[in-house]
Amino acid sequence: MKFRIIGKGKMVKEKSPIKIINLTPENEKLFFVCLEDWSDEIKEAGNHKEIWCNKMKDKGLRVKLALDDNGVVGGMIQYIPVEYSSVDGKDLYFINCIWVHGYKQGRGNFHKKGMGKALLQAAEEDVKNLGAKGIVAWGIPLPFWMSASWFKKHGYKKIDKLGGLLDPILLWKPFAEDAVPPKWIRQKKTPIKESGKVVVTVLKNGWCPAQNMVFERAKRASLEFLDKVIFREVDHYL
């Protein structure tokens, strides 16, 4: 930790320098588990994220990592052309996830060090250089991971909401005057019912290990009741 002397001999802490890099082959396994390589629980998510990433590489997937002054990866951001997201838009990029490791386990807590802001700024500059007319993010109303208020703090504007009190909010930051506002893609189908059966319909989104973990747990639980339960998966890889 570095200190800086200000007026009257007072000393204040200086934030350690943050380095932003593109995803490298040696960091891919770490990225596939969202920096939680120490967690046994996340192993339940399987290899869905790796499969999704391999499919999205040629479709414009972008990933950046944040390193502290010791070269330890503490944060990540992943974003894709909006055409491959759950948002209806054009000439935009969509932030699937921005995540700064905040647990004491493993690599430690990197919160309050400016990593999130640095990652967001790096992504914005990147998509500008790619010729995009804006960048889109989703945020939740509650003040934790992917908080809508955090994006608003960094200049993002609410553009759409699905309707429910806790449903994710769609936000964006346009870079061009002719940028077309995006909107959520609404539900078009409902799960098919089966007489005398419980139907469990689950989205396999690929890019999020936490959601992949829920998918695997739901599948495992459903298989225990094959005579009463039908398990249907909706593959977001496709």
Does residue 135 lie within any of the structural domains? yes
pLDDT reported for residue 145: 84
Residue 226: both structure tokens together: 């094959």
Average pLDDT of the segment spanning 65-83: 97
Q: Provide CB contacts within 8 A for 234, sequence distance 6+.
A: 201, 202, 203, 204
Q: What is the pLDDT of residues 154-164, one digit of tens each?
A: 999 999 998 87
Cα 160 to Cα 181: distance, rounded to the nearest angstrom: 9
Does residue 95 lie within any of the structural domains? yes
Does residue 179 lie within any of the structural domains? yes
Contact 36, 21 (CB under 8 A): no
Cα 229 to Cα 200: distance, rounded to the nearest angstrom: 7
Q: What is the pLDDT of residues 180-217, one digit of tens each?
A: 999 999 888 888 889 999 999 998 889 999 999 999 99
Does residue 5 lie within any of the structural domains? no
Residue type (1 letter), 19: K
Cα 107 to Cα 74: distance, rounded to the nearest angstrom: 7
Alpha helix segments (H runs only) across the chain = 28-32, 48-56, 115-129, 148-153, 209-223
Does residue 207 lie within any of the structural domains? no
Average pLDDT of the segment spanning 14-39: 92
Q: CA angle 112-118-122, nearest 5°?
A: 160
Crossing angle of helices 48-56 and 209-223, in 10° steps, is 130
- CATH code for position 173: 3.40.630.30
Domain containing residue 120:
16-185
User: Which residue from 140, 172, 148, 175 is spatially nearest to 159, judged by alpha carbons?
Assistant: 172
Average per-residue pLDDT for the chain? 91
Q: Number of structural domains, the chain?
A: 1
Does residue 193 lie within any of the structural domains? no
Contact 130, 136 (CB under 8 A): no
Q: What is the pLDDT of residues 49-58, one digit of tens each?
A: 999 999 999 9
For 187, phi and psi rounded to 5 degrees? -60, 130
Cα 238 to Cα 235: distance, rounded to the nearest angstrom: 6
For 7, the 3-state DSSP assignment is: helix
At which residue do the structure tokens 């890019």 appear? 207
DSSP strand pairing (93-100 vs 134-139) = parallel
Cα 64 to Cα 110: distance, rounded to the nearest angstrom: 16
* Residue, of 15 and 41, whose pLDDT is higher: 41
Does residue 99 lie within any of the structural domains? yes
Does residue 112 lie within any of the structural domains? yes
